[in-house]
Structure 1
Amino acid sequence: MTAVADLDELAATLGALARRLGQSLPAAVPPPSPAWVLELGPRRLLPPGCGAIALSQQDVTVLHVLMAEPERIVSRQQIVQSLGEDFLSCDQRRLDTQISRLRRKAEQATGTTLPINTARNAGYRFYADAQVRP
């Protein structure tokens, strides 16, 4: 005799049993997402599944600082200093404008949102997989 089970019902039953026992079931591991690639030499950004975006030197510098350590908040001071500016005398709105231009450039060129979060009063964070190439 062959038993037939509905997989959704089986998953729900196992989930309920695990909750009762105070355990969690291993979550399905999502496939790795493709990385955003910053090419320093040709000064371009390669979003996953999209064409290259030409960048200015300032764009490259800002993205290089952010993409060197994805998921880490990079302070506004670190970004401004990487641009060769003095943090105390620099107009902070220039950095906000730079990030806004980068976001708009990526959106217009590819229809893709640039994965940069603003960490209020702290800096910015690149929150996707990233690679930096010479």
Structure 2
Amino acid sequence: MSENIHLLVVDDDREIRDLLTRYLTRHGYRVTAARDGQEMRKFLADRNIDLIVLDLMLPGEDGLALCRAIRAESGPPVVMLSAMGEDADRILGLEIGADDYLPKPFNPRELVARIKAVLRRSQSANVGGSPAAGAFSFAGYMLDPAQRRLSAASGEEIALTAGEYELLLALVQRPRRVLSRDDLLEITRGRAAGPFDRSIDVQISRLRRKIETDPADPAIIKTVRSGGYIFSAEVGTP
């Protein structure tokens, strides 16, 4: 399966590019390496890329600017790499659309695990036709797991990153139930939260901006003090 997956590694450190290229190739992936945003854009235009491993600190346009551009163009999923201690930058990366992040230095085996998890979340069925059995309706929205698609009452599709989709699905499948950050991270990513891991909070904030009438006073995804979050909308079938 992995031999059909084409990864793009973007890092200005030649040693890291070469190391990741060799390691990911040994795990069966096709790998292209770029040293900056200019090369990244060239390869995205010329090749079919399934996922980007993107360093935060790059010459010229940094990883945050590039991630924002990728997401604006509905580009492939992004796993961002960032130096340890840059929590604010990692959180900002998630806010603008990175699907996961990994602090440097990192274990290459963990990177492979993160890549596999993001690719699983981002795989979607062919779009088209009627909603499949098992679709959910709530607050005027329809979430179709068969197509991994969220649409408004008007029929307009609401773009979600892979991480946002998995988080929304986890909430919709467990309405009126308090879920802690640890619960949600385990459900969506299969791992426990670290003491400073705020990625769930970041993605909740992004979801609220997309589905709440007033994100500052949410009625669908509510915060439970010292508890986590609860999906308060009534969930039905289309």
* Structure with higher RCO (Cα < 8 A, 6+ apart): 1
Task: Give runs of aligned pairs for residues 62-73 of structure 1, distance below 5 A.
Answer: 62-73=167-178
Q: Could you give the per-residue CA deviations for residues 1-56 of structure 1, whole angstroms, max 9, x where no partner exists?
A: xxxxxxxxxxxxxxxxxxxxxxxxxxxxxxxx866422123322234456321212
Q: Aligned residue for 1:60?
A: 165
Structure 1 gaps, min length 5: 1-32
Do residues 104 (structure 1) and 204 (structure 2) align? no
Alignment map for 1:34-45 (pairs within 5 Å): 36-45=141-150
Structure 1 pair 106/51, CA: closer, same or farther in 2 (3 Å)?
same
- Paired with 1:79 and 1:87, the residues of 2 have a C-alpha distance of 9
Name which of structure 1's ranges 120-129 and 41-50 shifts more when overlaid on structure 2.
Answer: 41-50
Structure 1 residue ranges, 4+ long, deviating more than 6 angstroms after superposition:
none
Pairwise CA distance, 1:85 = 4.9
Q: How many residue pairs get matched?
A: 98
Q: How does 1:69-108 map to 2 (within 5 A)?
A: 69-89=174-194, 91-106=196-211
Going from structure 1 to structure 2, the CA distance change for 1:58 and 1:79 (only over 3 Å counts) comes to same
TM-score normalised to structure 2 length: 0.35
TM-score calculated relative to the size of structure 1:
0.58
What residue identity is the alignment partner of 1:123? G
Change (3 A) 1:132 1:40: farther
- What CA distance in whole angstroms lies between the structure 1 residues aligned with 2:187 and 2:176? 18
Query: Match for 2:151: what amino acid?
Result: L
How big is the alpha-carbon RMSD for the aligned residues of Structure 1 and Structure 2? Answer: 2.9
Distance 1:97 1:60, change over 3 A: same
Letter in 1 for 2:189: G
Partner amino acid, structure 2, of 1:72: R
**Do the aligned partners of 2:180 and 2:227 also contact (CA within 8 Å) in 1?**
yes
Percent of residue pairs identical: 32
Alpha-carbon distance between aligned partners in 2 of 1:122 and 1:73, rounded to the nearest angstrom: 7
Larger-gyration structure (1/2):
1
